[in-house]
Amino acid sequence: MNITDDIISIKGVGEKTATCFHKLNIFNIRDLIFHIPRSFTLYEGPVIPTPSDNGETKAVRVYFKMNSFSSVKKGHLNISHVTAVCNGKNIYLSIFNMPYLKKQLKTDREYVIRGTLEVGKQGAFSMLQPAIFTYEQYEEIAGTLLPQYPLVKGLTNAAVTKAVRQVIDAIDIPDDGLIGDTDFASALRSIHFPQDMDSFIGARKRIVFHEFVSFLLQMRSDNNTGNIAFNEMMVETAQTTRLLEALPYKLTGAQQKCWADILKDMTSGKCMNRMIQGDVGSGKTIIAFLALILNASNAHQGCLMAPTEVLAKQHFENLCELNDRFGIGLKPVLLLGSMSAKAKNESYKEIENGEHDVIIGTHAVFQKKVIYKDLTLVITDEQHRFGVKQRESIIEKGDCVHLMVMSATPIPRSLAMIVYGDTSISVINEMPVNRIPIKNAVVGRGYRRKAYEFINDEIKKGNQAYVICPQVEEGEDSDLENVVDYAAKLEQELGPAINIAFLHGKMSTDMKNRIMSEFKDGNIDVLVSTTVIEVGIDVKNATVMLIENAERFGLAQLHQLRGRVGRGDKQSYCIFMTAKEDEKTNERLNVLKSTNDGFKIADEDLRLRGPGDLFGIRQSGEFGFLIGDIYNDADVLREADLYVQNIMKPENSDELARVNERLNDTCFNTVDFRSI
């Protein structure tokens, strides 16, 4: 068996299962072994239940009182009730659709039941739908960690586990050549089937180290845009100063400083390579516009790329409005993938002839067909960086290009210096003064009804709401709310007068665009979404954000989500709803209540997150890591940085060559960070 063999070559994987695997981007055995469990189930030793176990998952050794067994039918559901006894104390069980247990379970045998223990007001124990094992069966699995994989409909966890178990020991996994306590192959094996939590954590760290080292090596070997001279010096012009005087507001101190950085870069005679980090709502757009105006008034072309059509349109409309109102004299054009071929061709011609000096659009602006007459400035919005390949393709379009990346992710400075290497960073860490601060609440699920009433009231006032759920559809983790079912449930709760739609990353781009514009136009009252809703989207009318399973998100991410409300002149609200009401969760979430400063929040996130949050929702997925998360794994990132710095020293060139060669092994090349 070979690492590049098709998934279908695994015993037990047929056409149908293979199609499911494809949906998870698993095509061959390598893809499968890099499909990392998202959590584990531990079959812990049985306990004698106590009232303090309320709400906890417990295994309990019991006998069944079979004469208590009864079943009733409710619609499609058959519900059985049976009493189990542990140490003389009754536990009342409810079980769905398994009436046959009446015949299978024996009074004189010992069993282990495992499930969420509920303790009633009078102290009675009960369990809903526990897993039932014979005592002997349980003995066998007790103490082991069972992997829980990301799934799609039609694929069970058991099927994935079985497939992985079959190949993981049978195939030859090469070593990555990085020095460490564990070799890569052992780490990969034990990340699927760890002996205990500690060995999982160790294995995970080792793989994250591998990822970070590959990333940093790729980045640093190609970063050569540093000191490229600009053909012709740009000069400061009157247009930008005039606009700044005419604007109805004064730039904040942080915006002024950021603009000064850019002005200095662009008139320095060298290529700018700058990242603008500013919290949501800190006013990055006007800075981009100023740069575009400076560029245009030096008689060059500049383009602004947004990640989605909705955002590109928003920018275009805002720029046109400024342009007309203040007579700036720009000749902007909008370029979207969804435009008709005729319209696009028209625009291409005009761009090539130099009839436009500002081009705003989505990825369409980088298409091969777009030939610029004189491109000298490229700005991307809501990006974390320019991938090296992207940079190369841009530089092909113009000899000398100033690059500017705008991001709302406030990455702590210590990490940013590692991740961004030679990119200069400007930080906008100050909010415009006219904002009404968002009111925040951290609540348990018991508050849900009230939250719905609240949303209802806001909608009656003509406002709109967002609801964020962590997953797309039922399947991966039944403890988490999912967008599809949630939207249906909410429809019933709120009634037909309220328009509800949902949005998630598995939808087509077209569909996503349509729904976002409908929401923007006010035709949708409540948008139930995963985290795909845009960072930059500006729907001033949205005043409520309800985030379900808030405990599973990183603080920085929650903060970004919250930034979608509070953008207009109305009071806005953010409700963080958690399924876990312990002290640690509360401490973390309360950080969001105490401050609105994204950088502070990111720092706290670093401090408060620990190995316990390994299974939270990843927040820096934008960098393309499989499992690494620059926040959660900040310590590993620092280690990787030191390692890479060391092997890049001239005296270690042999070592560098050896590591590069190992990392170029097809087994590891799952991610080309240069194209991200």
434 binds, among Mg ion, ligand ADP, none (CB under 5 to 8 A by kind): ligand ADP
Q: What is the DSSP string of 62-112?
A: EEEEEEEEEEEEETTEEEEEEEEEETTEEEEEEEES-TTHHHH--TTS-EE
Q: What is the DSSP string of 128-191?
A: ES-EEEEHHHHHHHTTPEEEE----TT--HHHHHHHHHHHHTTS-PPP----SSS-HHHHHHHH
Q: How far is the CB of 560 from ligand ADP (least distance, A)?
A: 10
231 burial via Cβ count (<10 Å: 0-12, 13-18, 19+): exposed
Residues 381-410: x where in contact with ligand ADP by CB under 6 A, - otherwise, as a string? ---------------------------x--
Among 46, 49, 115, 278, binds ligand ADP (CB under 6 A): 278
Region 610-639 residues binding ligand ADP, contact defined as CB under 6 A = none
Chain Cα centroid distance, residue 172 = 32
* Residue 282 binds ligand ADP, judged by CB under 6 A: yes
Q: Which residues pair with 466 in a beta bridge?
A: 527, 545
* Residue 598 binds ligand ADP, judged by CB under 6 A: no
What are the tokens at 44? 């812990």
Among 99, 354, 412, 432, binds ligand ADP (CB under 6 A): 432
Stretch touching ligand ADP by CB under 6 A, among 17-25, 245-253, 437-445, 662-670: 245-253
278 binds, among ligand ADP, Mg ion, none (CB under 5 to 8 A by kind): ligand ADP
Region 537-596 residues binding ligand ADP, contact defined as CB under 6 A = 538
* Residue 536 binds Mg ion, judged by CB under 5 A: yes
Count of residues that bind ligand ADP according to CB under 6 A: 17
Q: How far is the CB of 367 from Mg ion (least distance, A)?
A: 23
Q: 272 to each of 261, 268, 403, 464, how far by Cα in Å? A: 10, 9, 6, 40
Q: How far is the CB of 521 from ligand ADP (least distance, A)?
A: 18
Would you say 381 or 477 has its CB closer to ligand ADP? Answer: 381
46 binds, among ligand ADP, Mg ion, none (CB under 5 to 8 A by kind): none
* Residue 266 binds ligand ADP, judged by CB under 6 A: no
State the residue for tokens 């106590």. Answer: 50
Q: Greatest CA span in the chain, whole angstroms?
A: 92
390 binds, among Mg ion, ligand ADP, none (CB under 5 to 8 A by kind): none
Q: How far is the CB of 251 from ligand ADP (least distance, A)?
A: 5
Candidates 147, 138, 141; CA nearest to 190 is 147
State the residue for tokens 């034990």. Answer: 190
Among 130, 387, 398, 536, binds ligand ADP (CB under 6 A): 536
Candidates 540, 516, 529, 527; CA nearest to 281 is 540
Would you say 281 or 470 has its CB closer to ligand ADP? Answer: 281
> Residue 223 carries which side chain, given as an amino acid letter?
N
> Residue 580 carries which side chain, given as an amino acid letter?
K
283 binds, among Mg ion, ligand ADP, none (CB under 5 to 8 A by kind): ligand ADP
- CA–CA dist 179, 265 (Å, integer): 40
508 binds, among Mg ion, ligand ADP, none (CB under 5 to 8 A by kind): none
Q: How far is the CB of 530 from ligand ADP (least distance, A)?
A: 20
Would you say 459 or 545 has its CB closer to Mg ion? Answer: 545
Would you say 315 or 552 has its CB closer to Mg ion? Answer: 315
Q: What is the 3-state secondary structure (H, E, C) of 291-330?
A: HHHHHHHCCCEEEEECCCHHHHHHHHHHHHHHHHHCCCCC
67 binds, among Mg ion, ligand ADP, none (CB under 5 to 8 A by kind): none
State the residue for tokens 């590993």. Answer: 636
> Phi-psi region for residue 123, left (φ > 0), alpha (ψ -120 to 50) or beta?
left
* Residue 286 binds ligand ADP, judged by CB under 6 A: yes
Among 249, 413, 523, 649, binds ligand ADP (CB under 6 A): 249
> Residue 224 carries which side chain, given as an amino acid letter?
N
Residues at the site binding ligand ADP, with contacts judged by CB under 6 A: 249, 251-252, 255, 278, 280-286, 408, 432, 434, 536, 538
Using CB under 5 A, list all residues that contact Mg ion. 536
